Amino acid sequence: MKTLPHGIIRTARLDEIMIRDHENQWLGMVKDVVLAMPSGRIQFLSLDRADQPDSNQELVLSWDQLNYDPDSGNFKSLSEREQAGELAQELEEQAGTGLIRGRDLSGRQVRAADGEVFGELREVILDVERGEAIYALLADTSGKHYPLPWAVLSYDEDKRIFHLQAQHHQLRSAPHFGKGGEPQAPFDWSERVWAERVHEHYGVQPFWTVSRPK
């Protein structure tokens, strides 16, 4: 079976990823991702503090200071531990720059190109090796779930909704999962034949063939 590079993960499973500092000391577990909209580029990871497990504060680490280890599936911070800032302060300082937490995208309305509401976004699928969102998982009103290539979406920050560059009838025939958002097992988000089928349906270039933004 042809597969894509490892590092593809659903935002719902980010809390399984560990981050260590430059001295290999445990910093904590990933709690959320902060994306730049509309590009979907990962800007920060937030994590629960390992040294303050009962604290509600989240550390935030800049994406360009993180190194992903595909063997362990975890991250190592390249910066000093003390340089990790607080997430709330970071988002406040960069307000209006299109930054949004991954979990805050859940439930956002998705409209087809004809303006009709098709459903809502349930979660985002990330490629942590490329550092970007690659799919949005959309749930329609009947409970079916559609993996949408990120390239077919645009985001209206003022209205806080997504617009899809596809007609409603095109979505109805698109690759999808049954109710509950889980495909029939076994399934791998990195399975290349399936991924090619999804991108071909929407007429967009597969994400792994596009040069990474600098």
If we measure between CA atoms, which residue out of 125, 3, 13, 126 comes closest to residue 66?
A: 126
Domain boundary, last residue among 101, 124, 158: 101
Report how many domains make up the chain: 2
Q: Is residue 208 part of a domain?
A: no
Domain boundary, last residue among 70, 101, 132: 101
pLDDT at residue 109, rounded to an integer = 94
Query: The domain containing residue 63 runs over which residues?
Result: 8-101
Do residues 93 and 109 both lie within one domain? no
Q: How far apart are CA 196 and CA 20, in angstroms?
A: 35
Domain boundary, last residue among 101, 129, 164: 101
Q: How far apart are CA 74 and CA 76, in angstroms?
A: 7
The string of DSSP codes covering 147-213 is EEEGGGEEEETTTTEEEESS-HHHHHTS--B-TTS-PSSS--TTBHHHHHHHHHHHT---GGGSPPP
pLDDT at residue 186, rounded to an integer = 40
For the chain (214 residues), the mean pLDDT of every run of 10, in chain order, is 66 86 84 91 83 66 87 81 52 65 91 89 92 92 88 91 86 78 56 88 91 64
Do residues 43 and 25 both lie within one domain? yes
pLDDT at residue 185, rounded to an integer = 40
CATH of the domain at 16: 2.30.30.240
pLDDT at residue 93, rounded to an integer = 53
pLDDT at residue 134, rounded to an integer = 94
Do residues 89 and 125 both lie within one domain? no
Q: Is residue 96 part of a domain?
A: yes
CATH of the domain at 108: 3.90.50.10
